[in-house]
Amino acid sequence: MAVKAEYLWVDGTQPTAKLRSKTKILADGEQPGIWGFDGSSTNQAPGDKSDCVLRPVFTCPDPLRGGDNIIVLCEVELIDGTPHPTNTRAPLVEVAAKYADQEPIFGIEQEYTFFKDGRPLGFPVGGGYPAPQGGYYCGVGADEVFGREIVEEHMDAVLAAGLHLSGINAEVMPGQWEFQIGPVAAPLVADELWVARWLLYRIAEDHGVSATLDPKPVKGDWNGAGAHTNFSTKAMREGYDAIIAGAEALGKKRQEHVDGYGAGIDQRLTGLHETAPWTEYSYGVSDRGASVRIPWQVEKDGKGYIEDRRPNANVDPYVVTRLLIDTICGDAAGQA
Ligand code: ADP
Ligand code: MN
Ligand code: MN
Ligand code: MN
């Protein structure tokens, strides 16, 4: 039986890259190999030198097509086999290898917002606003929860694909939701996040809904959408000194991190709506108004992980994981 392999890659759209995909039919027993695409249609090449190369890096069962069909996530390369300038995974792989001895792992909380007919799901059809925030977060009932059937379908698909899902929840704004991938090492956590995003878009598409990663989908008194990134090294999982050292290390590169945490971050990190202002760095135990939170359980246990609350929903997970490893592990190794 022929196998349908859905090849996924991250394109070159600025300021926020998009996922693209196309299907390759594999003959019986054929392995998914390198493939190509028209980079001039994805902001990755000029028309006269349009060929870009897809190199498979992560494969999983395709839960939507079922059977032996697969999803094949790729890195983009130039025809000489070097990483394409838009390929942010290649530099992550280098940094992750350099500090592999510190055993860094991540859990990423992906928030997102469903849109239908130009407004968030649950916002009134005739325009205007629903009741103010307060009851929607982890809510229940048709007056508070919008899109649960899509969320459930997505959860089942992510699990069937074998990804490391750790949970889902309804968020603070109507139509806003979250899923978490992890805790696992990079680049795997980021590969799985990209695949989980694609499954979300694809499933929502069947419901006539678009899932978006806009960091501030509704201006005003409505929560933005983030991608809190939880991080630990072996030393952090064993003792509190490394927790504090990690939180301190992040303070040394505030601007570099904020620059890499997703377009429009100044719109979301205002100091309101459970955020710290992007212009300042802070950390604290249980503090959801700090840049970095040390969960209360971590303080109590004297070990665990820290949560960088700053990354936007539209962050490139290859970038945020690289920055965290480079900064925290580099600092611990005395090289930052
Ligand atoms: P929140 O209270 O911020 O909403 P969540 O439960 O949504 O927290 O997310 C916590 C995340 O932390 C999960 O993705 C989980 O996988 C991750 N996590 C748990 N332990 C660790 C650890 N030791 N290192 C890194 N991430 C971790
Ligand atoms: Mn969460
Ligand atoms: Mn959340
Ligand atoms: Mn969080």
The model's pLDDT over 37-54, given as tens digits with 9 standing for 90+, comes to 999 999 999 888 899 999
| Ligand 1 pocket, CB under 6 A | 105-107, 109, 166-167, 180, 182-183, 228, 230-232, 237, 304-305, 307
In contact, 92 and 106? CB cutoff 8 Å = no
**Number of Cβ within a 10 Å radius of residue 137:** 15
CA neighbor of 324 nearest in space, from 238, 257, 234: 257
- CATH top-level class of 3-87: alpha beta
231-336: CATH number: 3.30.590.10
Q: pLDDT tens-digit profile of 89-140?
A: 999 999 999 999 999 999 999 999 999 999 999 999 988 999 999 899 999 9
pLDDT by residue for the chain (336 residues), tens digit each? 899 999 999 999 999 999 999 999 999 999 999 999 999 999 999 888 899 999 999 999 999 999 999 999 999 999 999 999 999 999 999 999 999 999 999 999 999 999 999 999 999 998 899 999 989 999 999 999 999 999 999 999 999 999 999 999 999 999 999 999 999 999 999 999 999 999 999 999 999 999 999 999 999 999 999 999 999 999 999 999 999 999 999 999 999 999 999 999 999 999 998 899 999 999 999 999 999 999 999 999 999 999 999 999 999 999 999 999 999 999 999 865
**What residue spans define the domains of the chain?**
3-87, 108-225, 231-336
Closest ligand 1 atom to residue 228 Cα is 3
Q: What does the alpha-carbon distance between residue 21 and residue 7 come to, in Å, rounded to a whole number?
A: 5
Return the amino acid letter for 158.
V
Considering the segment(s) 108-225 as one domain, its CATH architecture is: 2-Layer Sandwich (3.30)
Residue with tokens 């997703």: 262
Ligand 1 nearest-atom number relative to CA 304: 23
Do the domains 231-336 and 108-225 match in fold?
Answer: yes
Interatomic CA distance for residues 336 and 330, integer angstroms: 5
Residues paired with 110 in a beta bridge = 179
> Beta partners for 77?
53, 83
Closest CA to 312 of 220, 245, 212: 212
Cα 170 to averaged position of ligand 4 atoms, centre (Å): 13
Residue 138 C-alpha to ligand 3 middle, in angstroms? 10
User: How many whole angstroms separate alpha carbon 61 and alpha carbon 56?
Assistant: 14
How far apart CA 325 and CA 274 sit, in angstroms, is 25
Specify which residues 179 forms β-bridges with: 110, 168
- Calculate how far, in angstroms, residue 235's C-alpha sits from the geometric centre of ligand 1: 17
Structure tokens at 229: 């990134």
